[in-house]
Structure 1
Amino acid sequence: MLISVISDTHLPSIFRNPDGLGPELGKFLSQTDLIIHAGDVVRPSILDWCEQFAPVKCAKGNNDEFDDPRAEDKLLLELLGWRIGVVHELRPEDRPMSELIFQAFPEESVDSLDVLISGDTHVPRLEYRDDVLFVNSGSPTLPYHLEWRHGSAALLNLTSDGIAAEIVSLGETPDRPNPIETSSLVIHR
């Protein structure tokens, strides 16, 4: 199962939807079975835009003051036997995984999640620590809080035996270089 992870689209703004930056994000999303948005969507029309490519699940961010059945304050998903938690904000991200999980899901034990996804920082992060895959996809539209340009997303390839995860650069914007450094890792049960 291919899952795309995005966060912090912050649209509409100067663009109505991500197509304003070009087709790259749409092409990326169209190859996946599920889109997880880790918040700061801003308007549900962006979830509509995403849904033309694949089903969407969203954890609301601090800029998401709307009601939509696709968006919840936080998400707990089970996909192919993997438990995935999604929440928008987990700063600072370098704390022990037990603290991050307790902040996001105080009712869950530390060993109950396999994957923890967050957003908010606009900076991609991919690491495996304390037996949990931590994913922050960065922002596809405002990487590192720089002016509008192509940024990053994350791709999770789930099987019942493992997860291949990567941070993906969504290309270049003329005269605005993409600051993203790609990374990848594979975990097995």
Structure 2
Amino acid sequence: MVKIGLVSDTHSAGSGWDLPANVLHALEGCDLLLHCGDLECIGVLDCLEQVAPVLAVRGYEDPREPGDRLADVSRIVEVAGVRIGMVHDIQWPTPAIMTTPDGAGLQYPASGLPDLLHRKFGGSVDVVAFGDTHEELIEWRDGVLFINPGSPNYPGRRHVPGSPGTVALLQIQDGKIDPSIINLSDYA
């Protein structure tokens, strides 16, 4: 089994070493960590690397870093035969999902979800990992897992102000993906 930790929207204004200790504790035992942007300083990646290797995508205010650790907009990471597309802002529901002419509701464009994801990531994916909203989400759409780990530092509106946030975990075994959201209050 491969364990992948997902983090997003840490918004570290300091050195990056100011992540709450429960973040590192919750991610112990992961084989890889993926950060979905808005880290705000490279030190966040250095801090997370105490647990496991880290790959990330840039958010709105994130610095650039030479090398492969921090991708500019999106990337595909393949782990245990599972293709994970990473992006900070998926704009979910995406702009490519349009209201039907009769106003009946939302539907994919005629090209469908596979084409939409190919345009976003340059290839097919089994998982879309994204951030931006600070709201944790696990949702399957047409066989593709959409997952947002929320924010460990600044959780979304569903949380009590000042409470610990969330990260996420993907466990992959024999091609089966088991996603979960981890409430950091469980690691206080």
The TM-score normalised by the length of structure 2 is 0.79
Indicate the RMSD between aligned Cα atoms, in angstroms: 2.6
Q: Which residue of 1 aligns with 2:177?
A: 163
Displacement of 1:30 after TM fit? 1.9
Which whole-Å deviations, capped at 9, do the CAs of 1:100-119 have from their partners, x for residues lacking one? 525622x32xxx21111110
Q: Secondary structure at the match of 2:140?
A: strand
Q: Secondary structure at the match of 1:133?
A: strand
Pairing of 1:57-72 with structure 2 (within 5 A): 57-69=55-67, 70-72=69-71
Aligned AA for 2:181?
Answer: I
Does the 8 Å CA contact 1:76/1:83 hold for their aligned counterparts? Answer: yes
Using the TM superposition, name which of 4-13 and 63-72 deviates more: 63-72
* 2-structure distance, mates of 1:46, 1:52: 10
Which whole-Å deviations, capped at 9, do the CAs of 1:33-59 have from their partners, x for residues lacking one? 110000001000110000011000001
Q: Which residue of 1 aligns with 2:102?
A: none
Highest CA radius of gyration, 1 or 2?
A: 2
Give structure 1 stretches of 5+ with no counterpart: 175-189
Q: Which residue of 1 aligns with 2:168?
A: 154
Q: Secondary structure at the match of 2:27?
A: helix
From 135, 138, 144, the counterpart of 1:123: 135
Aligned AA for 1:71?
Answer: L
Displacement of 1:13 after TM fit? 4.9
Pairing of 1:2-41 with structure 2 (within 5 A): 2-13=3-14, 17-19=18-20, 23-41=21-39
Q: Secondary structure at the match of 1:171?
A: helix
Displacement of 1:65 after TM fit? 2.3
Q: Which residue of 1 aligns with 2:145?
A: 133
Give structure 2 stretches of 5+ with no counterpart: 98-107
Q: Secondary structure at the match of 2:185?
A: coil
Q: Which residue of 2 aligns with 1:84?
A: 84
Pairing of 1:72-111 with structure 2 (within 5 A): 72-73=71-72, 74-93=74-93, 95=97, 96=108, 98=113, 101-102=117-118, 104-105=120-121, 107-108=122-123
Which whole-Å deviations, capped at 9, do the CAs of 1:149-168 have from their partners, x for residues lacking one? 41001100011230111011
* 2-structure distance, mates of 1:143, 1:72: 24
The TM-score normalised by the length of structure 1 is 0.79
Aligned AA for 2:90?
Answer: L
Identity of aligned residues (%): 34
Which runs of structure 1 show a deviation greater than 3 angstroms over 4 or more consecutive aligned residues? 13-16, 93-97, 145-149
Q: Summarize the Cα distance change of 1:65–1:103 in structure 2 as closer, same or farther, 3 Å threshold.
A: farther
Which whole-Å deviations, capped at 9, do the CAs of 1:61-108 have from their partners, x for residues lacking one? 111123243100211111111111000001133755727525622x32
Does the 8 Å CA contact 1:12/1:46 hold for their aligned counterparts? Answer: no
How many pairs were matched up? 167
From 33, 44, 47, the counterpart of 1:46: 44
* 2-structure distance, mates of 1:14, 1:61: 17
